[in-house]
Structure 1
Amino acid sequence: MSDENRTVLNPGEKVQPEIKKDDARRLVFRLYGLSVTRVEELNSYDDKNFHIHVDTSTSGDVKLSEEGYVLKILNSLDSRFPEAIDAQNRLILHVAKHGIRTSCPVPNLCNELWSLEQLDSSDSKYIVRLFTFVPGRVFVGIRYTSSLVHSVGKLAGKLDAACLEFNDKAFTDHKRIWSLTEVPKLTKFLTCLKEEEKRQSVLFVIKQFNDSVVSSYSKLKTGVLHGDLSDHNILINPSTSSADDYEVVGFLDFGDATVAYYVFEIAILMCYILLGADEEDDPIELAGHALAGYLSEFPLPSMDLSVLKICISARLVQSLVMGAYTASVQPGNTDYVLNTQNKGWMLLHEFIAKSDSGVFDLWERILLEYGLKFDFR
């Protein structure tokens, strides 16, 4: 594949934009005509994201959001593929019409949903977009309950049901390193792991993934999926009926949307529930409640469910390896990208040590509690 058509990050490649808050402020005014009053940088691996507050008193007849907007500056690699960004925008507007709440792109002064900008001294150009801001808090750092994760799974199932009706050829060839289809390529990043035990664990999971999942691609259910239902992309609000619980509001960031296998969608969601579960709770059991919610809205065949456990393990190693790699090349971003490392490696070793039958038996029992019966074998 030529460099122009390459879509997946290589080791050592610098793709994140170099842009500060003041630059973001000027960019919003130049492209959108909005006077920025406050800027807060948001977490990201390869992009640059800012929560922008604007002066709403000078908007004339145009109603501006009191909650602000999100300025998203795409990394230089993904910015080479504007057709994929157009597809993302169309997908976002499609799922929003189907009742899935999410941030939507805002037209700029040229009435376009993105523009390509040269922002630093390099020759790189970056796609710039502005999104509506959806109030709420992300899933990170709260105490998970079985009812909450079931609700998250249920909304994820509704999201994929809506995506079944969406098709865009731009997604077919556009893959990112965070797509689970790219797990075998993690071997190129293993030099960032200093401990041989960790490298061997990653290689073990990659072999399992190749043997059980890659070899079964032709048999798995495919379509357009969000691709990153992590705890940073799940939006919640305090429950109106229970002081100690939350309600699921919607999903954020369709930057990893692609055509892939729907088992990846629920595997990624369950992976982050495992990582975010309180130490007093059984993470595998909690993940089973999310699975029940998902399958109640979006049933999967037994072939897909038979590879679910290894897909979760694959996302765990993907998160751990790419987190360690990103920290090695972005030392100022370690708080975010290394957030799951200590707990994640311990969880990975414990999870891959459990038998498939033991995990599947537990999930089957949980599904029965919701009146669901699915075959994992």
Structure 2
Amino acid sequence: MQANFVIATPAISCILNKNATEACKARVHYDDQNFYVAAVEGGEYVFKIMNSEDSKNPAITEVQTYAMSFLCQNGLPAQTVLPTVSGQQISLEEMDCGFGLQKYLVRLLTYLPGVTISKVPLIPNLLYEAGKMAATMDTVLQKMEHPNISILQREGFIWSLSNVPLLEAYIGPLDGDPLQELVKSIIHHYKTSVEPKRCHFRTCINHGDFNDLNVLVQADENGDYKISGILDFGDMNYGYYIHELAITIMYMMTEHPDPVQVGGPILAGWESVIPLNEMEKDCLYLLVMSRFCQSLVLARYSVTLHPENAEYLMITSRKGVGILKKLWKLGKKEVEKMWFKAAAEFSHTK
């Protein structure tokens, strides 16, 4: 099926094969604009407008789009893109999204059923499946070939867990907040305890944002939730398997009534696909802590730039501060003991 995009300001109208749409509703996103589209003749889609900064780099969007199709071809629940009438997967359009006329990359994607995993109880079996899915995804992405794949190196990418020390340039909004000293301490421990061991980490391509709002689930005939979708490949980068695991644990913790209990089942699911080596195990706690720091610091910084989006930008931050402090108080040894013991026990039940 082909698609044609017609942009109107202030409303956005998406026309599929020149037929009017039944519905076009905005969907919230951290950087981009997403619109749910229901076509009159049937079919559901997501019309995605990339943010202005990412729109300047169509090559990386092309690789991300290809990765989604590659995962789908390999049996994973990722969106695929519908080409325009001229056969393009991505189109550069000039429009006003509230900041004057600018050029934005747009795509029409398939719509995946389900609700975000944040909306359902995170029972151990579902957490296990999340860990297993994240690991499976990275093993599949590692097999992907593309002429521009090197663009995923992304040196200096602030959301990469390889670049945690770069947060030091963004902690100004935390001045006067005791959280700033905790963040500085974690960055210091990252430099002294994680960076020297990085040479022992196994490299891969990371999704980079396997979080509670980017994972969809759907109930099966027994009422058990299964993962039905993986969204948002905008943070893809060359990294390490252990990074994806740390990111997954961190975000799922923000949705659990007892966050520390999340690590065990996710770890068990992950290691059913990719067992960790000793250096990776030793760094997992600090990498989870570092991801909390990235989320908290960059959210605060983003609010200074876009105060009108404060409510959305601070979703994870509001929950994360308390969890970060609790993990820090418990300490590396105690948290690791709980995670790895629970993972071993859970694995025996599978």
Q: Is the CA contact 2:114–2:228 (under 8 Å) kept in the aligned structure 1?
A: yes
TM-score between both structures, scaled by the size of structure 1:
0.83
Q: What is aligned with 2:315?
A: 339
**Aligned residue in 1 for 2:169:** 188
**Is 2:246 the counterpart of 1:258?**
no
User: Take 2:80 and 2:95, find their aligned partners in 1: how far apart are those partners?
Assistant: 23
Sequence identity, in percent? 28
- Whether the aligned pair in 2 keeps the contact of 1:32 and 1:108 (CA below 8 Å) is no
Q: In the alignment, is residue 214 of structure 1 matched against residue 187 of structure 2? A: no
CA distance in 1, matches of 2:305, 2:103: 20
Partners of 2:124 and 2:8 lie apart in 1 by: 40
Comparing 309-318 with 114-123, which one deviates more in the overlay? 114-123
Q: Tell me the residue number matched to 2:228.
A: 249
Task: Say whether 1:50 aligns with 2:35.
Answer: yes
Q: Which is further off, 310-319 or 283-292?
A: 283-292
CA distance in structure 2 between the aligned counterparts of 1:45 and 1:35, rounded to whole angstroms: 28
Q: Is the 8 A contact 1:39 1:53 kept in 2?
A: yes
Query: Which residue in 2 is equivalent to 1:145?
Result: 123
Residues 340 and 360 (structure 1), Cα distance of their counterparts in 2 relative to 1, 3 Å cut: same
Q: Does 1:24 align with 2:12?
A: yes
- Match status 1:319 vs 2:300: no
Q: Which amino acid aligns with 2:318?
A: N
Residue equivalent to 2:4: none
Question: Which amino acid in the other structure matches residue 197 of structure 1?
Answer: P
Question: What displacement does 1:345 show?
Answer: 1.0
Whole-angstrom CA distance in 1 between matches of 2:318 and 2:176: 13
Using the alignment, how far apart are the partners of 1:327 and 1:178 within structure 2? 16
Say which SS state the counterpart of residue 342 (structure 1) adopts.
Answer: helix
Once residues 163 and 155 of structure 1 are traced to their aligned partners in structure 2, the CA distance between those partners, rounded to angstroms, is 12
SS of match in other structure, 2:106: strand
Q: How does 1:117-156 map to 2 (within 5 A)?
A: 117-120=93-96, 122=100, 124-156=102-134
Are the equivalent residues in 2 in contact too, given 1:21–1:39 (CA < 8 A)?
A: no
| d(CA) in 1 for partners of 2:19, 2:206 | 33
Deviation at 1:264, TM superposition (A): 0.9
How many residues matched? 337
Superposed CA RMSD: 2.2
Q: Give the CA deviation at 1:138.
A: 0.5
Q: Is the 8 A contact 2:173 2:300 kept in 1?
A: yes
Is the Cα–Cα contact under 8 Å of residues 268 and 347 in structure 2 kept in the other structure?
no
- Tell me the TM-score normalized by structure 2: 0.89
CA offset digits 1:232-253 (Å, max 9, x no partner) = 01110124224xx422213111
* Bigger proportion of residues as strand: 2
- Give the AA of the match of 2:321: W
Cα pair distance change 1:194/1:118, threshold 3 Å: same
SS at structure 1 position matched to 2:79: coil
Is the aligned partner of 1:161 residue 2:139?
Answer: yes
Identify the residue that residue 197 of structure 1 maps to in structure 2: 178
Distance 1:20 1:198 in 2: 44
> What's the CA shift for 1:194?
4.5
Distance 2:271 2:114 in 1: 26
What is the match of residue 339 of structure 2? Answer: 363
Superposition deviation, residue 85 in structure 1? 1.2
Are the aligned partners of 2:296 and 2:321 in contact in 1 as well (CA < 8 Å)? yes
Amino acid at match of 1:143: P
Q: Does 1:172 align with 2:153?
A: yes
Cα drift, residue 137 of structure 1: 0.4
Task: Give the conservation status (yes or no) of the 8 Å contact 1:230–1:268.
Answer: yes
Gaps of 5+ in 2: 1-6
Q: Is 1:301 matched up with 2:277?
A: yes
Asked if 1 retains the 8 angstrom alpha-carbon contact of 2:264 and 2:341, the reply is no
Which residue of structure 1 aligns with residue 24 of structure 2? 39
User: What is the distance in 2 between the residues matched to 1:95 and 1:34?
Assistant: 30
Deviation at 1:222, TM superposition (A): 0.7
- Contact residue 45 and residue 326 of structure 1 kept, 8 A: no
Residue aligned with 2:221, SS: coil
Match of 1:86 in 2: 62
Tell me how far apart the structure 2 counterparts of residues 32 and 170 of structure 1 sit (CA, whole Å): 33
